[in-house]
Structure 1
Amino acid sequence: TWLPGPGGGVEGLDPLRRRNFETLLKRLGEIVPTRGLTLLDVGCSTGLFLETAARYGIDGVGIEPEPGQASIARLRGVKVRDGFFPDSLRRGETFDIVAFNDVFEHLSDPCQVLHACELILNPGGVLILNLPDSAGVLYSVASALARIGLENPL
């Protein structure tokens, strides 16, 4: 289904996103042990990355400005704060991982955001910038199929 407007997207891409998140987290696990790490998922949308990360023993929280997306994330059982990054952070709060999945390319001041990440990442922390290829063939096909009512085409 096509979700128009801010925070919208193509639900048909969820299987592809899930595979992408699994690959990313497996690779992360090859670099550092993931069990017990803390994660901040900026622009967490429906919480799919947080849900996947929990299976790797990662304790995550998301920030999501779109209330409808945040509600879906809460139904998945993940922790979500309404609002924007870094305003939704608590004073002195730090994380082992800060992730931007399909978010970083939308930021108006990426340098300011990177500086905020530097302040909240624990020593040796990991910054994940997972950027989309919306010009790619898989995205285009999934978008077209979802718009005509075929959900989860991939």
Structure 2
Amino acid sequence: MRNFDLSPLYRATVGFDQLAEMMDRVFEKDVSRETYPPYNIEKTGDDAWRITVAVAGFTDEELNVEVKENALLITARKAPDGKERSYLHRGIATRAFERRFALAEHVRVTGAVHENGLLHIDLVREVPEALKPRRIEIASANDIEAKAIEA
């Protein structure tokens, strides 16, 4: 149960729908359910990040990484090996999971590597040239008059 009512935010703003929806998602999630598998988010540059997920016991074929509608989705399904096993202690969890990360605009996945039981996913923000700030040259009035006379 959440303690905040965000409906006034919807009524008083235009164009901030994604922000309000993100806040709704954050408040309605069951935090106790989101502990497996453990992960790190590391900043590797000004506009670059790396998500590392602990996926011990899974092979490359059992892992799936996809980007869909500004969300990074990591899933894993353990394939049955057909062997009957009798564990004395089972501390390595190899249960199926689905982990979702919301991606900001212009953030794209550049690669994924599975090594030593860790899945590394590299992200980078690439802002299009049209959205980058640009400097506008300011001309003096004398320059404009001189160009008009030459023409």
TM-score normalised by the shorter chain: which range applies?
under 0.3
Greater helix percent: which structure? 1
- TM-score, normalised relative to structure 2: 0.24
Greater strand percent: which structure? 2
Flag the structure with larger Rg. 2
Q: Structure with the greater relative contact order (CA < 8 A, sep ≥ 6): 1 or 2?
A: 1
